[in-house]
Structure 1
Amino acid sequence: MRLSELGGKEIVNLNDGGRLGIIADSDIIIDEISGRILTLLVPERRIQISRLFGGESEGIEIPWHTIRKIGNDMIIVELDMY
């Protein structure tokens, strides 16, 4: 699968059914040595608004190993949020 094919997919948490964001708005953290994807960094909605006004750009970190399924429209992750 190409990175461009991930664009537009919604990220959903298997544990609570929560919508975490859309991959198009996310950053990908890559290990510089191995070239492997380590983490998806998905900005939270309130943080996206803060970014418009010069705030910090942080979000939910989703480790790549928590991804359980990549479907046509969404990516399902198993992430403990608490």
Structure 2
Amino acid sequence: MRICELKQKEVINICTCRTLGCPVDVEFDCESGCITAIVVPGPGSFCFCFWGPASEYVIPWNCIRQIGDDIILVEIDEKHCCKKD
């Protein structure tokens, strides 16, 4: 799977059954080349460009439960995964 394909999938938190949006970026380990997290615009963000209070969900790769054709199921505590710049 390519990153551009990953960015077209909707992220859903299975703990709250809430849609978080679509990934806009990934984090990876430079040494291993493995993806370590996906980044999704946080609450109040619109298309990652027009931010009010800057925030994003950084979802560790090990919190991803399943990647389907159209969705990515994650299991996270949204309060702890939301980073503010």
Answer whether TM exceeds 0.5 for this pair: yes
Percent of paired sites with the same residue? 37
Aligned equivalent of 1:63: 60
SS of aligned partner of 2:39: strand
* Larger-Rg structure: 1
How many residue pairs were aligned?
Answer: 79
What corresponds to 2:41 in structure 1? Answer: 43
Aligned partners of 1:29 and 1:41 also within 8 Å: yes
| Greater fraction of residues in helix | 1
Relative to the length of structure 2, the TM-score reads 0.76
* Residue matched to 2:71: 74
CA distance, structure 2, for counterparts of residue 2 and residue 39 of structure 1: 15
Unaligned runs of 5+ residues in structure 2 are 80-85
Q: Does 1:4 align with 2:1?
A: no
CA distance in 1: counterparts of 2:53 and 2:29, whole angstroms: 23
Moved more, 12-21 or 55-64: 55-64
State the superposition RMSD in angstroms: 2.3
Q: 2:82 matched to which residue of 1? A: none
Question: TM-score by structure 1 length?
Answer: 0.78
* Alpha-carbon distance in 2 for matches of 1:70, 1:6: 9
User: Are 1:17 and 2:9 counterparts?
Assistant: no
